[in-house]
Amino acid sequence: MISYDLTGKTALVTGGASGIGFATARMLAKFGATVAVNHLPDDPRGPEAVNKLIDAGGKAIGAPGSVGEAGTAERMVLKAIDELGRLDLLFNNAGTPGTRHRIPPPQLESITEDLWSQLLETNLLGMFRCSKAAAPALKAAKGAVVNTASIAGLGRAGSSLAYSATKAGVVSLTQNLARALAPDVRVNAIAPGAVDSSWMVEWTNEERQQSIERALLKRRCQPEDLAEVVVFLGFGAAMVTGQTITVDGGLTL
């Protein structure tokens, strides 16, 4: 793993209370960055995540607020930036599948207007809201944005066709935000495959084993595998922008 000296740097991680978000926040803090951990206001894992980072010797603050709510998302970002003093990295990681069980593509009757609204508001509009609000601070710091897409947005069937569509939108949004914020800010995305982390979708043991067998590297990704790529895109990769990096152990191959 590459080590970075991020002393004096700051980051805002949305959806930072668990999974990929928390793993990234922990890695950033380990390298010396001050991290704002965004979480839903009623999620007890948020304050717990902040305390874990601080107990491990890192610098962290809480940034409660739903990215899926217009106005709330922007206020959360601006408050976090005010407390941090600057912003070097925005990791747009917050997202939801909107369902606890996979909805196969033929089951169109299960794809409701409410599901579409929830997924679009959180997975796609939430990223735009946070990026737009953070843009001035990111430009001032010559910073970076990293978005969480998914292999479901690259042609794979995800938890639902609506989820896949929002993640395909993230890929497009990443490219266009790269155009919008250049030359001062780089914007990239990660596309995780099968990841062992807390997630609303309940996969069976058989499905988990199949994902291991199909992956070229013969294991499922851990949150830390994604965190390593996020940190690289945020603080290395000086000539990389507008790209979506697949991190799936060769699952899509």
Helix (H) or strand (E) run with residue 13 in it:
strand 10-13
Q: What is the number of residues in the chain?
A: 253
Q: Can you tell me whether residue 187 is helix, strand or coil?
A: strand
Q: Which residues of 6-43 are buried (b: 16+ CB within 10 A; e: fewer)?
A: beebbbbbbbbbbbbbbbbbbbbbbbebbbbbbbbeee
| Nearest C-alpha neighbor of 68 from the set 95, 99, 91, 41 | 95
The answer to whether 4 is a known catalytic residue is no
| Cβ neighbours of 253 (radius 10 Å) | 9
Query: Is 35 in contact with 46 (CB distance < 8 Å)?
Result: no
Catalytic-labelled residue, pool 22, 91, 163, 232: 163
For residues 150 and 156, give the distance between their C-alpha atoms in angstroms, rounded to a whole number.
9
Active-site annotation, residues:
163
